[in-house]
Amino acid sequence: MKILDVLQLETIIPELTSRDKKGILEELAAPIASLTGLHHPDLVRVLMEREQLGSTGIGDGIGIPHGKIAELDRMVVGFGMSRQGVDFDSLDGRPAHIFFVLVTPEQSTGQHLKLLARLSKMLKNDLFRKKLMTAASRDEIHAIIQSEDNKN
């Protein structure tokens, strides 16, 4: 499965404005809730509950918040960029700038893990991260992700 199989253009946010973790999750959840018909506060709650188990800030300026929702019938990925960076309780203690949010149906554990692994692998590429950080628009971000997605 490719990232662009589940990432829609409308779930890409080129300029996140929140300065804290909950605000970032609220921003990232908004287009996903709109696209899927999920109740926005419920989606934020699921993402926050997952964060309480352990931060999804994996270091190197990356956060991959994720959660499972019973009412969802397909996997959905969103993307957001925080140019100023946000304290996301990352493993390396540094601010997070690049966020991929992954929301999956409860029964899709295998696909959920495969998608997380694919994202993690892509995000280990320094050049990919640098390109994302300099992208100016939703379309440019989409093209950068597509280019990296097609390599694997």
Q: Which amino acid type is present at position 83?
A: R
CA of residue 66 relative to chain centroid, distance:
7
Q: Point out the residues that are catalytic.
A: 66
Q: What is the DSSP string of 54-106?
A: S--EEETTEE--EEEETT--S-EEEEEEEEEEE----TTSSPEEEEEEEEEET
